[in-house]
Amino acid sequence: MSAQVLAEPTTSSNPFEPVAVLPEYPPPKGRVDPDQSKSWIWRLAPVLYSHKWTIMGGLGAALVMVLVTAGIPKTIELAINNALIDRAAPLRRYAVILGLLAAARLVLTFLFRYLLQKTAQLIEFDLRTAMFDQMGRLSFSFFDRVQTGQLISRANSDIRAVERFLTFAPVMGITVVQFAVALTFMVDMHAGLAVLSLIPLPFVYITGIYLRSRMFPISWVVQARAADVATIVEENVTGVRVVKSFAAELEQIKVLAKSATRLRWASIFQIDLRAKFAPIMENLPRLGFLIVLLYGGWLVIEGEIKVGVIVAFASYILMLQVPFRMLGFLMLMGQRAAASAGRIFEILDQKPEIADSPGAVDMIDPSGEVEFKDVSFGYGEGAPILSGFNLKLLPGETVAMVGRTGCGKSTAARLIPRFYDVTSGQLLIDGLDIRKYTIRSLRRNVGLVLDEPFLFSESLRDNIAFGDPTAPDEEVVKVAKIAGADGFVTELPKGYNTIVGERGYTLSGGQRQRAAIARTLLTNPPILILDDATSSVDVQIEQEIHDALKDLMKGRTTLIIAHRLSTISLADRVVLVDQGRVVAEGQHQELLRTVPLYSEVLAKVEEEWMATHAQPSTSDPEFEEDIKEVRIPPPLPLDGLGGDLQGDNS
């Protein structure tokens, strides 16, 4: 089928979905505001607004609780003055009122805390989902330059810091209302005494402002250095086999200790600031209590107020102190949240380098013609890996790509599913530039099996069915048999329900590779890329996979990154890549006779593989003579070949 058979342009209301799987969980209700000119809290406002009813319910309960709480000291004042001193009313009445107020406060406190804590968890869910969704959309080039530990830290500790502040900030707001209500009652009882009790509070504010200016930069440093520690731990856990194989445990402990020491210094500096200023902020308001006792006691002696007022004032001063006692903690959390939000936004604000072009169309039932037209590509700012790369794969054709290590074979293969975009030139499928296809439909039609397979910590059944979770078990078993995986899977205690360890390391390299091949085959891609996909299996298993692949590759365009002669035997055509371009192509035997560089490359890679695996590379009799011939390249002339190739052999 040619490129004319295409779907209508994709719209947001009807996106291409490779597998129709209903989501089990709802998407986040709110998204972060993309306007980078706004402050971090305003950028999070849409997330907060999406949970407005829960927030309003919690704040409403809190406000009523404040009024109830403020009424308790007033009731105590009336009880003392009216029932105990003047004996103008029964004490039982005030006892009942206090009991009702206490019960109401109990219920309201529960509602207030429950609803606000629920909101905090919903916000955390939204932020984590947004972060994970963003990571899924970012391009490979982003992950090439960003450490995994940094991403994990931002998706965990930084989001938690923001969530904690957003939970605590409404509580602080409620204490401010409580301050206003308490002050109102105090002014009503005696304005002069109320004003004097507020004298220490401006000094609390000044101290808080100074603390805030010092806390923000150190909070950012603490979060960044915590991420560095997380990176080292993540790399050592992931690469534990490498660390142990080199007996490098002590060296890695030194690396971690150095990073942990840097974190400890920043954390102690932060604690030192808080230890110096937080006690000042918490205890300055207590001077107001001293003023109440001195001046209020004198007023009682002079008969201007009654004792009940002093008792009520003491309770209200405690209510006045709460927001100022919490101010230092809130500022500490606020600065840490601001630093964490900035680190989160660094991820959310990243623009994917690989994205659907305007008017991109879905790829539907492609014939599988793949063509590189004068393609050039390099990673980042590095030197070009491919330069003037030209290659055409016909529909249903199997092509083996051979070349020295680092010549650009795998790079060319990873351009096809658009993991990276070409720097110049064109990469076409069915005559249409792949940048005009939607990314999801393109990758659905291109199957890729890498030389280093990755398995998830799930069952083998789920790993094989990763591309199609709804696939029936019969199909999973079928592709496992084709990939040569069914044999070892059925021998496991739980068969296909066996949970593999992290990255699949509870399996051997060959077992992981067979499972990865089965995973790709299940999606039945019309274009298949095998990047040295049988390098970790033994000769017998490789032959079984090859026998199955010969039938499977019929009618399917297949590109094989080949390092072994037995793999080359699968190909209809062989291309030789050198210095980022195709320098020769043809049948295997023809290239052996006419291209010395081809013989040289095969001899080199064959020796490397044999040295690694310590066993014969193939049991195919057809290629035994080829091995002998490769090791002694025929000194043939290079007439008719390109200058680049001659230069390589000069």
Beta pairing partners, 584:
576
**pLDDT band, very low/low/confident/very high, at 649 (cuts 50, 70, 90):** very low
Report whether 556 contacts 370 (CB < 8 A): no
Q: Which residues contact 286 (CB under 8 A, 6 or more apart)?
A: 200, 321
Q: Please state, in angstroms and rounded to a whole number, the distance separating the CA atoms of residues 547 and 619.
A: 13
Q: What is the mean pLDDT of residues 614-631?
A: 43
Pair 90, 180 in one domain: yes
Question: Is the separation of the CB atoms in 529 and 374 below 8 Å?
Answer: no
From 291, 320, 348, give the residue that closes a domain: 348
Residues 226 and 322 in one domain: yes
Q: Is residue 30 part of a domain?
A: no
175 and 69 co-located in one domain: yes
Please report which residue ranges of 305-402 form alpha helices under DSSP H. 307-348
Q: Residue range 590-599: average pLDDT?
A: 86
Does one domain contain both 428 and 459?
no
Tokens of 394: 């016909």
Taking each helix axis from N to C end, the angle separating 307-348 and 159-189, rounded to the nearest 10 degrees, works out to 160
Average pLDDT, integer, range 495-506 = 78
- In this prediction, residue 390 carries a pLDDT of 93
User: Could you tell me if 375 and 342 lie in one domain?
Assistant: no
Q: Say how far apart CA 585 and CA 564 lie, in whole Å.
A: 17
Number of domains in the chain: 3
> What kind and span of H or E run contains 586?
strand 581-586
Cα–Cα distance list, 90 to 81, 198, 572, 606 (Å) = 11, 34, 105, 103
Count of C-beta atoms within a 10 Å radius of residue 599: 21
CATH of the domain at 401: 3.40.50.300
Cβ neighbour number for residue 386 with a 10 Å cutoff: 26
**Residue 7 within any structural domain of the chain:** no
CATH number at residue 320: 1.20.1560.10
Based on the fold, state whether residues 389 and 399 are members of the same structural domain. yes
Cα-trace Rg, the chain: 36
In DSSP terms, which residues pair with 528 in a beta bridge? Answer: 447, 558
pLDDT digits (tens, 9 = 90+) for 544-570: 666 666 666 677 898 988 777 777 877
| Mean pLDDT of the region 183-199 | 83
Alpha-carbon span 448 to 315, nearest angstrom: 71
The per-residue pLDDT for 374 is 92
- Structure tokens given for 107: 């219920």
**Residue 355 lies inside a defined structural domain of this protein:** no
Assess if residue 13 is contained within a domain.
no
377 & 255 share domain: no
Q: Please check the confidence at residue 114 and state whether its pLDDT lies above 70.
A: yes
CB count within 10 Å of CB 423 equals: 13
Tell me, yes or no, whether 578 lies in a domain. yes
What 507-513 contacts at long range (C-beta under 8 Å, 24+ apart), as own/partner pairs, is 507/455, 508/536, 509/536, 510/536, 510/537, 510/538, 510/541, 511/485, 512/453, 512/455, 512/536, 513/449, 513/453, 513/537
pLDDT(397) > 80: yes
> Which tokens go with 172?
């602080």
In this predicted model, what pLDDT tens digit does every residue of 427-480 receive, in sequence order? 999 989 999 999 888 888 888 887 777 788 788 888 888 888 888 888 888 888
Provide the sign of the torsion angle of the four alpha carbons 473, 474, 480, 483, taken in this order.
Answer: negative
Q: What is the pLDDT at residue 72?
A: 87
How many beta carbons lie within 10 A of that of residue 169, not counting itself?
16
**Does 9 fall in a domain?**
no
Instruction: List all residues 6 or more positions away from 181 whose beta carbon is below 8 Å from its beta carbon.
Output: 66, 67, 70, 319
Q: Same domain, yes or no, for 166 and 277?
A: yes
Residues 476 and 510 in one domain: yes
Contact in structure between 340 and 162 (CB atoms under 8 Å):
yes
Instruction: Report the C-alpha gap between 80 and 315 in whole angstroms.
Output: 14
The boundaries of the domain holding residue 304 are: 40-348
Residue 126 lies in a domain: yes
User: How high is the mean pLDDT of the chain?
Assistant: 78
C-alpha 117/C-alpha 152 separation (Å) is 24
Chain center to CA of 291: 55
C-alpha span between 175 and 322 (Å, rounded): 7
Secondary structure element (H or E) that encloses residue 401, with its range: strand 398-403
45 plus 128 within the same structural domain: yes
Are 495 and 570 contained in the same domain?
A: no
SS3 645: helix
The predicted-structure confidence for 206-257, as pLDDT tens digits, reads as follows 777 777 677 767 777 887 788 778 778 777 776 776 777 667 778 788 888 8
* Domain boundary pick from 464, 490, 524: 524
Which domain-ending residue is among 315, 348, 381? 348
Assess whether 267 and 194 both reside in one domain.
yes
